[in-house]
Chain A
């Protein structure tokens, strides 16, 4: 039982990160009907920038959490600026172009950002400086670290804040959707870096694709759907990877972890293309 609980906890932490990233896809889609494939790269840039800042401050004697916060703050600003620029330069001129044009542009931007990052930071896995000590503790036979709790709580707070913001104001401006999405991606990027202890110029790609899957699962364009989709996907992946070996008697193993996201994507597209909570499109500027 504690193993099941542990797998679910792992899944929720992963899902919280997916959900944050999925929000970025969904907000832009809700307004522009554009799938911003460069969103994963915004996350990667957030992670890389934060890492550089943290590395600079690591020897300064400042307390660890403050260093992480500083990295996060710079990352958010940089990501918002990058997203804003990308929207202005790459997407806005194509506002009235056929739908495929911005989609292909998005893929182009994604490749461009990846290669820029590879030039700036190199192609190696960059280690996270040891500024955070995650203390493990037990709950109900499962183990969590303070970092994991922090990830889930911060994601929850950000998502709640966003929902509140959307309900009280009308955020139907394209650039605002991009910029808020980018800020969320920056936070997610720092979370991923802290959680796995490393960052890499290619890290945004698969993560972005999975977050996109989460957005589709919940119903693209639907904010609550993105959160639900993210959490569900995290848990499905975690349980899938954890039990596939036992269920197939060792025929398939946990290295098939990444397959689940895309299996879910295909199932959703076949049986419920509008997603669990239904799509939300049309609040256009």
Chain B
């Protein structure tokens, strides 16, 4: 064999490997069925589905939601749930969507086939949006704790809800904050090319321009990259006052490090995707001063926040990353709707979900006619002495 042929062969094999790598871990995600706390002779089991990335770079965020949701299920079971005069036991069925749109639809179908009564999820907008059609076709209510892309609730499905403010609002807050509060004249915007990252970045860009600021650069990366030297160097040349990154913490962490290494003095600002303890771990000392917005109130200022955080930590030995309290509340919202309808049959209780008026850990939860949360507040945080500290809360009565 000559060299060219040998090499082509190797490369063919390598690309095969690459293709395999894409779908790794194997396309069939594991079902993790949690044994439910000892049920007092319950006759009926109501299954609640959960879908989030439980493996891969965003696993810590997905498992955070799963743990919060599990805590909600355990609490309700401990208290005892009665629907339509019958005692029921709740069971959580967690599925791993790997933050991948294709896997999300597979997982959604699995949950539908498992006859779940309602779904908590997904985490990523890129996963929630394609999955929403499957839940809608099956008539199963889907409440996302975290998907903020506006398109999610614009499909017109009666089954689609979320308990976070969407990116129209978050992007507006971020863009205005950069220009008006931080006094930025020029802002560089980077996104991770996912529906969440790019969607939010588009809104940020609009808000920057509307507030009289200039978008000095708009760059993209991916949700798998760790090297941003090239992007950041280009950005450095444009001399922005603020760099906005719209993405998740595995990218935001090294990005903060590389900004400091390149001597970029601009402030680092972002959305809810990296307002996590994990971001501070990944960026180390370079996290200091970074700012990020999160839909909702600061965790410890949520009406039920303090108690929730303590109990979460006692049970799982970890800090809440992001959306655990939202998962906790969603289970309650679903069960409250079932109770009002007197049935756990999705067809019967779905209309009640839309009428939700619930005081949760995260604050009051009610939905508008699209399924978006009403009056979602937004909080800006800053990293100070290695910890996220709330700077200020915007909105809460707007929208």
With A197-B282, A254-B220 known as contacts, the answer to whether A238 contacts B253 (CB < 8 A) is no
B234 in the interface (beta carbon within 8 A): yes
Which of B20, B60, B222, B281 gathers most chain A CB within 10 Å? B281
Q: Which residues of B contact A273 (CB under 8 A)?
A: 2-4, 7
CB distance from B274 to the nearest CB of A (A): 12
CB distance from B386 to the nearest CB of A (A): 9
A148 in the interface (beta carbon within 8 A): yes
Q: Which residues of B contact A96 (CB under 8 A)?
A: none
| Residue contact B263 to A198, C-beta cutoff 8 Å | no
| Residue contact A138 to B3, C-beta cutoff 8 Å | no
The residue in chain B whose Cβ has the minimal distance to the Cβ of A212 is: B14
| Residue contact B226 to A196, C-beta cutoff 8 Å | yes
User: CB within 8 A of B282: which of A104, A127, A269?
Assistant: A127
B368 in the interface (beta carbon within 8 A): no
User: CB within 8 A of B285: which of A6, A130, A257?
Assistant: A130
A residues 131-160 touching B (CB-CB < 8 Å)? 133-134, 136, 138, 143, 145, 147-148
| Residue contact B219 to A254, C-beta cutoff 8 Å | yes
How would residues 255 to 282 of chain B score, 1 for a CB under 8 Å from any chain A CB and 0 otherwise? 0010011110000000000000010011
| Residue contact B284 to A127, C-beta cutoff 8 Å | yes
| Residue contact A125 to B220, C-beta cutoff 8 Å | no
Q: Which residues of B contact A220 (CB under 8 A)?
A: 3, 7
The residue in chain B whose Cβ has the minimal distance to the Cβ of A256 is: B220
With A133-B285, A274-B3 known as contacts, the answer to whether A257 contacts B233 (CB < 8 A) is no
A33-B7 Cα distance, complex, nearest whole Å? 11
Q: How many residues of A contact B (CB 8 A)?
A: 60
A111-B57 Cα distance, complex, nearest whole Å? 18
B56 in the interface (beta carbon within 8 A): yes
With A14-B227, A197-B284, A245-B219 known as contacts, the answer to whether A205 contacts B234 (CB < 8 A) is no
How would residues 204 to 229 of chain A score, 1 for a CB under 8 Å from any chain B CB and 0 otherwise? 01000100100010001000000000
A93-B391 Cα distance, complex, nearest whole Å? 63
With A6-B233, A125-B250 known as contacts, the answer to whether A269 contacts B4 (CB < 8 A) is yes
CB distance from B194 to the nearest CB of A (A): 11
CB distance from B276 to the nearest CB of A (A): 12
B225 in the interface (beta carbon within 8 A): yes
B19 in the interface (beta carbon within 8 A): no
Secondary structure of the A contact surface, majority rule: helix
User: CB within 8 A of B17: which of A2, A37, A279?
Assistant: A37
| Residue contact B230 to A37, C-beta cutoff 8 Å | no
Q: Which residues of B contact A3 (CB under 8 A)?
A: 233-234, 236-237
The residue in chain B whose Cβ has the minimal distance to the Cβ of A131 is: B284
A20 in the interface (beta carbon within 8 A): no
B1 in the interface (beta carbon within 8 A): yes
The residue in chain A whose Cβ has the minimal distance to the Cβ of B258 is: A196
CB distance from A122 to the nearest CB of B (A): 8
The residue in chain B whose Cβ has the minimal distance to the Cβ of A33 is: B6
Q: Which residues of B contact A240 (CB under 8 A)?
A: 230
B59 in the interface (beta carbon within 8 A): yes
| Residue contact A242 to B230, C-beta cutoff 8 Å | yes
B209 in the interface (beta carbon within 8 A): no
A14-B6 Cα distance, complex, nearest whole Å? 27
Q: Which residues of B contact A274 (CB under 8 A)?
A: 3
Q: Which residues of A contact B227 (CB under 8 A)?
A: 14, 196, 257
CB distance from B97 to the nearest CB of A (A): 14
The residue in chain B whose Cβ has the minimal distance to the Cβ of A122 is: B59
| Residue contact B17 to A241, C-beta cutoff 8 Å | no
The residue in chain A whose Cβ has the minimal distance to the Cβ of B286 is: A197
| Residue contact A242 to B250, C-beta cutoff 8 Å | no
A130-B280 Cα distance, complex, nearest whole Å? 11
| Residue contact A254 to B231, C-beta cutoff 8 Å | yes
Q: Which residues of A contact B193 (CB under 8 A)?
A: 255
User: CB within 8 A of B229: which of A10, A33, A104?
Assistant: A10
User: CB within 8 A of B234: which of A100, A254, A269?
Assistant: A254
| Residue contact A242 to B234, C-beta cutoff 8 Å | yes
| Residue contact A6 to B3, C-beta cutoff 8 Å | no
Q: Which residues of A contact B261 (CB under 8 A)?
A: 134, 136, 143, 145, 147-148
The residue in chain B whose Cβ has the minimal distance to the Cβ of A145 is: B261
A123 in the interface (beta carbon within 8 A): yes
| Residue contact B236 to A198, C-beta cutoff 8 Å | no
B residues 20-64 touching A (CB-CB < 8 Å)? 20-21, 24, 55-57, 59-60
A residues 190-208 touching B (CB-CB < 8 Å)? 196-198, 200, 202-203, 205
| Residue contact A127 to B253, C-beta cutoff 8 Å | yes
| Residue contact A269 to B1, C-beta cutoff 8 Å | no
B347 in the interface (beta carbon within 8 A): no
With A123-B56, A145-B261 known as contacts, the answer to whether A253 contacts B226 (CB < 8 A) is no
| Residue contact B254 to A196, C-beta cutoff 8 Å | yes
CB distance from A181 to the nearest CB of B (A): 17
| Residue contact A198 to B13, C-beta cutoff 8 Å | no
| Residue contact B7 to A216, C-beta cutoff 8 Å | yes
Q: List 7 A-B contacts (CB under 8 A).
A: A104-B13, A123-B56, A127-B282, A136-B262, A198-B250, A220-B3, A269-B11
Binding site for A on B (CB under 8 A): 1-4, 6-11, 13-14, 17-18, 20-21, 24, 55-57, 59-60, 193, 218-222, 225-227, 229-231, 233-234, 236-237, 250, 253-254, 257, 260-263, 278, 281-285
Given A198-B282, A245-B219, A273-B7, 17 additional A-B pairs, CB 8 A: A2-B237, A3-B236, A13-B229, A37-B13, A37-B17, A103-B13, A107-B13, A107-B17, A125-B278, A130-B285, A133-B285, A145-B261, A203-B226, A220-B3, A254-B230, A255-B222, A269-B4
